[in-house]
């Protein structure tokens, strides 16, 4: 544990701005003297007390509730004091300053500072201490931030499920089964070569197969959880006046982008996050793709290609009202070739045939090998079909009730576990298995699992994770 983790800390724990209630939180060891200095009395543990909060001259700053949680029965595992006052920013700053002032002042009984070394907390430091004091594991700590940042109701429910330990329980189950298998392999290493059938009698291969099967199910749920948290970036691309801005407006249900009959109206990207069945989709409208002599439009087109190159999925919009024009089809073919050059093969392209309301059904081209939707951005016809296709290409499979929130690093760690277990299976299936290599693969798999919940984590990783939290958390 770093030296700074021993310091007592204080911070405003509620969001910036005005509100009905604001909270100043203190965490550290031995807060009794500070409680007397701030409240003028002792506080019963875990019982709200209504009293005035006074400055050094004895004048009331505000009146509110004080709550004292002796460690280890607190959020951080240390002694915690919460002052709940009116939520004005000036009042809370005065309370924060008073906490720092009272901590440095000498205690009447001992002559020592009431709480030496009290400082303002860094982002996420209260939750970091909860993790370091074994109140929560790392996956639960991340779930707290994900619950605060949730952009959809489904994401919030999934983050709450992770916070209660659903994801961690899955990881611990995998780890315990892996430890048991490692124990068998390590024990076998101590036997002579003629006793190698010890692993077969213990059904080590069956245990490994069960591990791989369970891991596959956990990975599927984790990938769904990561999708709920991160969403996907969807870029609308196509020629000018194909209806890109109209499609963005239709998907968002609001007039976000300017729509006119003038080609080249959209000069820069317009972005909106929508949700479909709780999955956030970051939809970006871009400038129409064509050759242009207008310098501003050319910059917009270059930015459009940058967005397309970074997309998770591309909606290639075609104008059915102009599909009979050879020049229009040729320009679409040129865009098609550019997409093939600039996009990885793993990025799905969805053909969207717009303005279906203005043509006969026979005009809509037959479905190609990739996903295709015919719609009208003006009337809304076909939008539900497009939403379904977007969920499909995003990889959404599960109902939100069965998913816990997960992050990209969790998915990457599980993929590493999968690779190590596959290598372990190859070693175990070999005619003369190298048991030392088998044991090493299982050890690496366990390390990858431990990194998810924090049993094995570097200080650098902790710094990155908790720095993304708000200061009062």
Q: What does the alpha-carbon distance between residue 82 and residue 65 come to, in Å, rounded to a whole number?
A: 8
Question: Residue 262: its pLDDT value, please?
Answer: 41
Instruction: Please identify, among 108, 136, 164, the residue that sits at the C-terminal boundary of a domain.
Output: 136
∠ at Cα 281 (280, 284), nearest 5°? 145
pLDDT at 256 over 60: no
The CATH number of the domain where 321 resides is what?
3.40.50.300
Residue 207 lies in a domain: yes
pLDDT at 297 over 90: no
| pLDDT 10s digits, 27-36 | 999 999 999 9
The Cβ of residue 36 has, within 10 Å, a number of other Cβ atoms equal to 17
Same domain, 297 and 385: yes
The sign of the dihedral angle between the CA atoms of 98, 101, 104, 108 is: negative
Q: What does the alpha-carbon distance between residue 405 and residue 182 come to, in Å, rounded to a whole number?
A: 29
- Confidence band of 385 (pLDDT split at 50, 70, 90): very high
Q: What does the alpha-carbon distance between residue 48 and residue 232 come to, in Å, rounded to a whole number?
A: 44
Q: What does the alpha-carbon distance between residue 166 and residue 465 come to, in Å, rounded to a whole number?
A: 20
- Confidence band of 267 (pLDDT split at 50, 70, 90): very low
Q: What does the alpha-carbon distance between residue 200 and residue 218 come to, in Å, rounded to a whole number?
A: 27
Residue 86 lies in a domain: yes
Residue 399 lies in a domain: no
Average pLDDT over residues 323-342: 89
**Which residues belong to the annotated binding site for (6S)-5-formyl-5,6,7,8-tetrahydrofolate?**
25, 82, 135, 473
Domain that residue 14 falls in: 3-136
Phi, psi at 234, each rounded to 5°: -115, 120
Residue 367 lies in a domain: yes
Q: What would the two tokens of residue 99 be? A: 């906490």
- What's the DSSP call for residue 193? G
Same domain, 208 and 269: no
**Which residues belong to the annotated binding site for GTP?**
241-246, 260-266, 285-288, 376-378
Same domain, 120 and 205: no
Same domain, 434 and 378: no
Contacts 24+ apart (CB under 8 A), 419-425: 420/444, 420/445, 420/448, 421/208, 421/211, 421/212, 421/215, 421/445, 422/212, 424/208, 425/205, 425/208, 425/209, 425/212
Tell me the average pLDDT of the chain.
Answer: 85
Same domain, 281 and 388: yes
**Could you give the C-alpha distances from 396 to 132, 167, 223, 316, 399, in angstroms and in order?**
35, 18, 9, 21, 9
**Which residues belong to the annotated binding site for K(+)?**
241, 260, 262, 265
Residue 314 lies in a domain: yes
The CATH number of the domain where 58 resides is what?
3.30.1360.120
pLDDT at 259 over 50: no
Same domain, 388 and 241: yes
Out of 192-206, 351-365, 424-438, the most confident range is 424-438
**Which residues belong to the annotated binding site for Mg(2+)?**
245, 266
Question: Residue 358: its pLDDT value, please?
Answer: 82
Residue 437 lies in a domain: yes
Lowest mean pLDDT across 161-170, 214-223, 364-373: 364-373
Same domain, 249 and 386: yes
Instruction: Please identify, among 111, 136, 161, the residue that sits at the C-terminal boundary of a domain.
Output: 136
pLDDT at 411 over 80: yes
pLDDT at 273 over 90: no
Question: Residue 9: its pLDDT value, please?
Answer: 95
Of the CA atoms within 13 Å of residue 95, those in its CB half-sphere come to 31
Question: Residue 357: its pLDDT value, please?
Answer: 84
Same domain, 24 and 104: yes
- Confidence band of 399 (pLDDT split at 50, 70, 90): low
Q: What does the alpha-carbon distance between residue 437 and residue 18 come to, in Å, rounded to a whole number?
A: 60
Same domain, 207 and 243: no
Same domain, 214 and 270: no
Which stretches within 343-394 are classed as H helix?
Answer: 383-394
The CATH number of the domain where 154 resides is what?
1.20.120.430
- Confidence band of 363 (pLDDT split at 50, 70, 90): low
Same domain, 176 and 107: no
Domain count, the chain: 3
Same domain, 382 and 425: no
Average pLDDT over residues 138-154: 87
pTM: 0.76
Residue 25 lies in a domain: yes
Residue 466 lies in a domain: no
**Which residues belong to the annotated binding site?**
25, 82, 135, 241-246, 260-266, 285-288, 376-378, 473
Lowest mean pLDDT across 202-206, 380-384, 408-412, 449-453: 202-206
Q: In what order do the strands lie in the sheet with 279-285?
A: 270-276, 279-285, 232-238, 313-319, 349-354, 372-374
Lowest mean pLDDT across 87-101, 349-363, 383-397: 349-363
**Could you give the C-alpha distances from 248 to 149, 253, 383, 454, 468, in angstroms and in order?**
24, 8, 11, 41, 30
Instruction: Please identify, among 136, 163, 179, the residue that sits at the C-terminal boundary of a domain.
Output: 136
Question: Residue 11: its pLDDT value, please?
Answer: 95
Burial of 214: CB neighbours in 10 Å, binned 0-12, 13-18, 19+: middle
Q: Residue 68 in 3-state DSSP?
A: strand
Q: What is the DSSP string of 272-340?
A: EEEEETTEEEEEEE-PPPS----HHHHHHHHHHHHHHHT-SEEEEEEEGGGTT-HHHHHHHHHHHHHHH
| pLDDT 10s digits, 217-252 | 999 888 888 888 888 899 998 888 888 888 888 887
């Amino acid at each position: 544990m770093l030296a700074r983790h021993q310091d007592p800390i204080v911070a405003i724990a509620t969001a910036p701005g005005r509100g009905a209630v604001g909270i100043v939180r203190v965490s550290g060891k031995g807060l009794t003297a500070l409680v007397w200095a701030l409240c003028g009395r002792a506080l019963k543990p875990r019982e709200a007390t209504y009293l005035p909060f006074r400055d050094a001259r004895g004048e009331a700053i505000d009146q509110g509730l004080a709550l004292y949680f002796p460690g280890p029965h607190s959020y951080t595992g240390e002694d915690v004091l919460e002052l709940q006052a009116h939520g004005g920013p000036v009042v809370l700053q005065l309370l924060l300053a008073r906490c720092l002032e009272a901590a440095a002042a000498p205690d009447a009984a001992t002559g020592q500072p009431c709480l030496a070394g009290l400082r303002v907390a860094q982002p996420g430091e209260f939750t970091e201490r909860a993790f370091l004091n074994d109140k929560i594991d790392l996956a639960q700590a991340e779930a707290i931030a994900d619950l605060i940042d949730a952009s959809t109701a489904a994401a919030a429910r999934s983050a709450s499920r992770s916070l209660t330990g659903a994801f961690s329980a899955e990881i611990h189950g995998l780890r315990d089964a892996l430890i048991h298998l490692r124990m068998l392999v390590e024990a076998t290493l101590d036997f002579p070569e003629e006793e190698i059938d010890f692993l077969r009698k213990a059904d080590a291969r069956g245990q490994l197969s069960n591990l791989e099967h369970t891991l596959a199910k956990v990975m599927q749920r984790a990938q769904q959880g990561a999708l709920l948290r991160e969403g996907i970036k969807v870029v609308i691309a196509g020629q000018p006046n194909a209806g890109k801005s109209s499609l963005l407006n239709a998907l968002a249900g609001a007039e976000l982008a300017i729509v006119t009959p003038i080609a080249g109206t959209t000069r820069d990207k317009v972005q909106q996050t929508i949700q479909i069945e709780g999955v956030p989709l970051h939809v970006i409208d871009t400038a129409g793709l064509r050759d242009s002599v207008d310098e501003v439009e050319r910059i917009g087109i270059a930015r459009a290609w940058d967005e397309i190159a970074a997309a998770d999925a591309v909606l290639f919009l075609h104008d059915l009202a102009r599909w009979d024009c050879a020049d229009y089809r040729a320009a679409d073919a040129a865009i098609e070739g550019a997409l093939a050059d600039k996009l990885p093969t793993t990025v799905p392209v969805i053909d969207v045939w717009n303005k279906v309301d203005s043509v006969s059904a026979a005009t809509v081209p037959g479905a190609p090998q990739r996903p295709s939707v015919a719609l009208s951005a003006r009337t809304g016809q076909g939008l539900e079909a497009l939403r379904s296709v977007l969920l499909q290409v995003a990889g959404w499979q599960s109902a939100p009730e069965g998913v816990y929130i997960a992050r990209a690093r969790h998915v990457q760690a599980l993929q590493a576990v999968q690779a190590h277990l596959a290598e372990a299976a190859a070693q175990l299936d070999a005619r003369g298995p190298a048991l030392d290599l088998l044991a090493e693969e299982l050890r690496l798999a366990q390390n990858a699992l431990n990194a998810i919940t924090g049993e094995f984590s570097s200080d650098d990783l902790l710094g990155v994770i908790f720095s993304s939290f708000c200061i009062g958390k």
